[in-house]
Structure 1
């Protein structure tokens, strides 16, 4: 059976649509979905620091506001160079307490640290990838200076969207010695993350780092605690961003793909059926 005229045209258009959909899904969209080279995002946190008072041997509390700024500064061999600046402020006095600046080298697809890039060698995830699974991920901890497991805990609806809950809960990590002494320090890291699974965007995070030293016969006691969590403004912003990014990913990589495939297949079938009827 030979396709002629309108029948042939319909079949060709249908095949072209199918091929274009496959090229889009397998090549074009994955390239577009990479971590953008012009990425810039600010996060705000609120929390507190508990610090040992050597005179009273008790922990003094300092309320804090934290600003975390992520800025893409370029690429090397398609590895994204991402600068992270973190500033801790006294929440009441408004004065800067401490600040840090780091440069990460990230795989733009998996969002993992790439060895040999950035200001030091790191491994593990910097953040979650798109398409988060209900499994354990390994994250780089800038506090512990090592990788720590983030375990899947549960799934829930948070502010109207589905999120996966992950927890990092690592205890008694080696943390050098107490300043001015030879006493060994240990560190506990507890972090809870709510992430929208399609986009991989964290919509809420709480973090607590505790440093302990064996100052008493009873065992190690905390000498420093740093707790912070997303502000409500950052949480709302991340929920909105996750919703819009999720919709974009689903429409361009799932819904749109299958709509075009279905349309292309329908045109091919229509062309073939039309040719058969014309032959009869």
Structure 2
């Protein structure tokens, strides 16, 4: 231990000193941080009294012994108590100790005055590792001081610190610990209907945020991550609850949980009800026997849940139906009986979901169809076109027990070469559609319609009537055959017809012949449109327009070919396959979440439980010495300080006697010389 003292400056007659203490392990030079420190003192340079208002603390008494000490007692500040004084645990009066004069002794070959002082059982705060455990200080110091200079020639000091541990058979008030589980987690992705498996790390942190005499507020946080560090939200949670620190039971008035947070200190061979986040309730945890791991006796407890109803989960796009979720699982705990410490955990469980009937158009439907083709209009050249058709649900209505969707059909056609919007082929329509059947609802939308709006879920091999937006009337859609198309097994439907209609697209109603051949490739389970191809035309008979009698000449006023773009065909096929897998869940109970986890390190878990056992046995309710420090000046230091004291004594003698005597002699000589003159 080395003390370095430096005079920094003088302020208002007060000397400001800096003291640096360095402590190292002899032989290795490794620092001992607990014994190192820097102190700023403000002292009277003549009396070495501590002066309030200067230094890093308002101290009283003396900094060290003054020059020219007497055979009496001195009040000296004990810097061991600086921190306790700064934090208000001791007063300045308690931090200063009386150095009692004990007589004369020789040290380092010179006469010294011996002083002894000590303090017993001084409360200095709380143990950092357990804030409810008070700490006490005891110390005694013997100093041998040169009476002329006040130099400490030799010194011996002994310091002890004790901690009074409370009853440790309870939750620690400064608890902040984590238990880590690792293993496989499999989750059903309800967007793709595919299972995703992760190598998961699940960290359960328990920390006391506030401790009162009656209960502790405990924060429980669970964070789950995959092997890439990505969070698994389904397994994450956080809650703040009031817990009885002795029984580990949740406090009913201050928590919405029941049962216990964990096992109490000192478990018995009986059942406990522990809270389980997986089921949102307390689960009976049964005593199942004894075992040993690494020589440590342990009790085995198992918490088993069989098809426990958890909750009803909303399904996006289906506000009128929910999915019921159930949990089945078993957790096995290996517990050190005297402390209740969990040494090892094995956890396996499955959350299953019972899906309702999903054969319906979702309320959150929103899709964009991209088509391309060729369009010819009367008196205009043929143009290559691109058509974007945005279909989305705008509102939901109920007609008795039938759900009606208001669907916006926004179609925009462009000239592919110029980008010009083709108004005649563009427009917005609003359809009222029965969600479960895909039929037009005649009392909704911007006009009364009939037939299908689109193909229904579970399409059949038959002819349907479907609303034809080209002529604002229903057209027959006939089943042709089954065929694989773009990698999807489909039903091919076709609309082939020729009929007279009234066309108003040219600004006046005209009787025209409408001819179309439209093919639809439909995935039958979902009713999803995988592809389509259309050839349509409208022709005007001039003679019929004048006389009302059809002639032989027909003039084309519109020719249209239209089909999905290649990219749209690929996207539609992929969407159909995904939707098919999702609909396969309809009305079934399927695993939605599977976990198989164990403690990440059984060796550390067992060691931790064993250490807790030893600590509680050794510390609970006991007064334990945590610091025992004895130090003294080396023989070399004693000799050096004795030599320094002698040199300082000579300088003081020189300053106080020799120089004044010399000045007197000089004065007498000067008087004599003046008298002769």
With over 3 angstroms needed to count, the CA separation of the structure-2 counterparts of 1:147 and 1:183, relative to structure 1, is closer
The Cα shift of 1:170 comes to 1.4
Larger radius of gyration: 2
**Residues 228/178 of structure 1: CA separation in 2 closer, same or farther (3 Å cut):** closer
Q: CA deviation at 1:173?
A: 2.9
Counterpart secondary structure, 1:253 = coil
Q: Which residue of 2 aligns with 1:69?
A: 390
Instruction: Name the structure 1 match of 2:376.
Output: 50
The aligned counterpart of 2:218 is: none
Distance in 2, matches of 1:179 and 1:96, equals 17
Partner of 2:410: 85
User: 1:34 pairs with 341, 360, 368, which one?
Assistant: 360
Contact 1:156–1:164, Cα closer than 8 Å, also in 2? yes
Q: 539, 554, 557: which one pairs with 1:223?
A: 557
In the superposition, the TM-score normalised over structure 2's length comes to 0.32
TM-score, reference length from structure 1 = 0.75
In structure 1, C-alpha distance between the alignment counterparts of 2:531 and 2:372, rounded to whole Å: 12
Give matches, 1:1-280, under 5 Å: 29-30=356-357, 32-53=358-379, 60-77=381-398, 78-98=403-423, 99-176=426-503, 179=506, 184-215=511-542, 217-250=551-584, 252-253=585-586, 256=588
- Aligned counterparts of 2:363 and 2:510: Cα–Cα separation in 1: 44
What RMSD in Å do the two structures reach over aligned CA positions?
2.6
Quickly say closer, same or farther: Cα 1:94–1:222, change in 2 above 3 A. Answer: same
Native 8 Å contact 1:177 1:185 kept in 2: no
Which deviates further from its counterpart, 192-201 or 204-213? 204-213
Cα separation, 1, equivalents of 2:501 and 2:445? 24
Cα 1:180/1:150, change in 2 over 3 Å: closer
- Partner SS, residue 382 of structure 2: strand
Shift, 1:160, TM fit: 1.9
CA distance in 2, matches of 1:85, 1:178: 18
- The CA deviation string for residues 107-131 of structure 1, in whole angstroms up to 9 with x for no partner, is 1011110110111110100101111
What is the SS of the residue equivalent to 1:104? strand
Unaligned runs of 5+ in 2: 1-305, 310-321, 324-353, 544-550, 592-677
Q: Deviations over 1:214-233 (max 9, x none)?
A: 14753323221122110011
Say if 1:175 and 1:187, in contact at 8 Å, map to a contact too: no
Partner Cα separation in structure 2 for residue 219 and residue 92 of structure 1: 33
C-alpha contact (below 8 Å) 1:178/1:213 kept by paired residues: no
Name the CA distance, whole Å, in 1 between partners of 2:406 and 2:508.
38
CA shift digits 1:227-253 (9 cap, x unpaired): 211001111111001111112222x13
Higher relative contact order (CA 8 A, sep 6+): 1
Structure 1: runs of 5 or more not aligned: 1-12, 17-22, 54-58, 261-280
* Aligned twin of 1:277: none
Structure with greater proportional helix content: 1
Pair 214,33 (structure 1): closer, same or farther in 2 beyond 3 Å: same
1:55-94 per-residue CA deviation (whole Å, 9 max, x = no partner) reads: xxxx621110000000111111121000000001001111
